[in-house]
Amino acid sequence: MSKNIPSEFDSKAADWDKNPMHWDRSVAITDLIKQLIPINKNMTALEFGAGTGIASFLLKDHLKEITLMDNSVEMVKVIKEKIHVTGVKNLKTLHFDLENDDYSKEKFDVIFTQMVLHHITGVEQVLDRFYSLLNPTGYLAIADLSPEDGSFHGDGFAGHRGFNVDNLADLLRHRGFTNVTHRKCFVIDRKISETDTKKFDVFLLTAQR
C-alpha cells in the first residue's frame, strides 16, 4: 500500500506543465516508444512515476487503458483534475510507492517511465517489480539520463548521476528481459549557474519480458 510520506515533487506539481521542456521531452520519448514498441488499443499500460501524466496523455489514443502511478499526492491530484477537465475515459490514477511496496493487483502489457529511475535508490528491486508486473511478452520502456557530473540536480541530490545504459541493459537481461535496445532520444539544456548552461543526454531503453 502507498505511504502518506510527502514526495519531493509535491511542491512542483502545480507548475510542472508550465515548463515547455517537459512537453518537448515527453513528445520525443513517446514518439520513440511508438516507433520501438508495437503498442495497440488492446494493450494496458502502467506509467511509473507518472508526474502530471504528460506522457500518458500523449499515448492515451494508442492504448486500451493506462494506469498512472506516482507516490506524490499532489502530482496525482493534478492528473485527476486533467482527467476530469478533458473527460478522458481510459486513464486512471494510482497513488502508490512501488519503490518500497509490492503491487500485485493487476499486470500490464506495457510499462513506461521517464526521468524517474535516477531518483530511485533501489533500482534493481524496482526492475524486479517491473518484470513481475508485465504480462508474458510485455514491453518495458525506460527513459532516463545518461551519466552526468552531478550538476543536473546539484549539491545534495541523493539519487543517481544518470546511468550507463549498457550496464542498465545488462541488469534487465539478468532478470530475463530480451530484445533490449536503446538509443538517444532527447537533449536537455539546463542552466546550472548564472553564466553556465549544460546539455544532458536522455536515452530510451526498451525491452521485452
Q: For residues 96 and 123, is the Cβ–Cβ distance under 8 A?
A: no
Delimit the domains of the chain by residue range: 10-208
Q: Please report, in tens digits, the pLDDT of each residue of the chain (209 residues total).
A: 444 444 555 546 666 678 888 999 999 999 999 999 999 999 999 999 999 999 999 999 999 999 999 999 999 999 999 999 999 999 999 999 999 999 999 999 999 999 999 999 999 999 999 999 999 999 999 999 999 988 888 888 888 999 999 999 999 999 999 999 999 999 999 887 788 889 999 999 999 99
Looking at every residue in the chain, the average pLDDT score rounds to 91
For every residue of the chain, DSSP letters joined together read ----PPPTTGGGGGGGGG-HHHHHHHHHHHHHHHHHS---TT-EEEEET-TT-HHHHHHGGGSSEEEEEES-HHHHHHHHHHHHHHT-SSEEEEE--TTTS---S--EEEEEEES-GGG-S-HHHHHHHHHHHEEEEEEEEEEEEPP--STTT-TT--S-S---HHHHHHHHHHTT-EEEEEEEEEEEEEE-SSS-EEEEEEEEEEEE-
Query: What's the CATH number for 10-208?
Result: 3.40.50.150
- Grid coordinates representing 179 are 530484445
Q: What is the pLDDT of residue 7?
A: 52
pLDDT tens digit string along 134-157? 999 999 999 999 999 888 888 888
Q: What is the pLDDT of residue 67?
A: 98
